[in-house]
Amino acid sequence: MAYTILDAEDIILGNVVQGVTSTAFSGNSGSLVAFFSSSTQTASNAGPYHYEVYNADPAANSAAEVQFSVAAGNAKGSGSARQTGASVGNSPTKAIYSQFRNLLLDNPTDTAQFTTADGVSHENMFFISMNRARYKQGVNPGSWYLELSSSYHTYASGTLKLRDDSTVSDGNVENGHLVYNIVSGSEASGIFADGSSNTHYWGKFYPDLGILALGGNYMTGSVNAGPQGSPGFSLKENGPATGLPASFDHSFLAAANTDDGFNDELFWSIKRGKYFALRAEEDVSSTHYFIRAKNQHYNYSMNHTYQRTGSNGEINGQLLHSTFIQNPQTFITTVGMYNDSNELLAIAKLSKPLLKNFERETTIRVKLDH
């Protein structure tokens, strides 16, 4: 088999196209309107720490894929039961809060808390983390939109509509990660401002990590007000009154060593909201390879339709067609790109077969986007 070794003159680096977006959910979908959990996963040892959310029912559809996960954290570990073998004070909610604090905050000390842009510190936090396979280099700022729904009327009712503020802000950098604010707003009308021109801040959005961090103190019913004095939103559902299991009626006491079902609440609030739109983003670089086939090269083929085979099926080097003697003809259809170990890395297909013989030379440009 013949090879052409490429040198520096054969390779040209193209421009980098920044911020190329694409659909993020399975099936090339830009949004989800139905959400499913797995009873196997939620009942496993991982269930108290996070719920995985699917695009279809994994119990009935083998093609169901994890789209994102939801998790709840509490700085002191309240709101979840200590797991078997864990020491006092170490519970799933504390582990989750500490994990995300170490990842997202400049100050990872045990006393540090997440703070929304209105200056409020949140002992409770809710996290939505996109599955790594769903986005590329990050989530496209300004492209996502989430609706949360609650039927609990003590603090708020209806739907909470969330997006980021990237359309009016350049964002900040925290612990090396770009971050925007999560604010009230609609997909069509943009960021919401109340009668006093106040923006309502609900959390932080980390596009490079695919994480939405929601300020839990505004969303658990533990306070009577939301951001900027707006009505608070409660993730809490009413249990059987909303068609949910009777065991679902959580009280949100955030008590020590007590399971308040925070993961349940966030999952069902998303499920009842019935809409989550999001796009992935990446920078695409192009490299052009110029493959030069000189007149002496690539005029013969090892294909069985080109050369004769012996009784054992091996090619014996004799041309199958006598017209090819002293006038071989081939057609180039494919270019294979190999590394130094002769491992095939990429294949480029021509739009139509290209005639090659001793009287013809050709240059094929292969564009590789990566």
Residue 171 lies in a domain: yes
Alpha-carbon distance of 25 to 32, in angstroms, equals 7
| Ordered per-residue pLDDT tens for the chain, 370 residues | 567 888 777 777 766 666 677 899 999 999 999 999 999 999 999 999 999 999 999 999 999 999 999 999 999 888 788 776 666 568 899 999 999 999 999 998 989 999 999 999 999 899 999 999 898 889 999 999 999 987 543 334 468 899 999 999 999 999 999 999 999 988 888 888 776 678 889 999 999 999 999 998 888 754 445 676 666 676 765 554 454 544 444 455 555 667 778 898 899 889 988 999 999 988 767 788 888 888 888 877 766 666 666 666 565 556 666 666 677 778 888 888 888 888 988 888 988 888 888 888 888 888 877 6
Residue 222 lies in a domain: yes
Counted domains in the chain: 2
365 and 325 belong to one structural domain: yes
Which of 229, 256, 277 finishes a domain? 277
Q: Which residue, 277, 307, 324, sits at the end of a domain? A: 277
Contacts of residue 2, Cβ cutoff 8 Å, sequence gap at least 6: 297, 298
Query: How many whole angstroms from its chain centre is CA 203?
Result: 19
Last residue of a domain, one of 277, 312, 331: 277
Amino acid at 178: L
Q: Are residues 238 and 111 in the same domain?
A: yes
* Structural domain that includes position 238: 25-277
* Residue 155 included in any domain: yes
- Flag whether 77 is in a domain: yes
Q: Are residues 316 and 185 in the same domain?
A: no
74 lies in the same domain as 139: yes
Establish if 311 belongs to a structural domain: yes
Q: Which residues pair with 138 in a beta bridge?
A: 281
Q: Work out the end-to-end distance of the chain between its first and last CA atoms, rounded to an integer number of angstroms.
A: 28
pTM of the model: 0.72
Q: Is residue 1 part of a domain?
A: no
Helices (H), 14-114: 39-42, 92-104
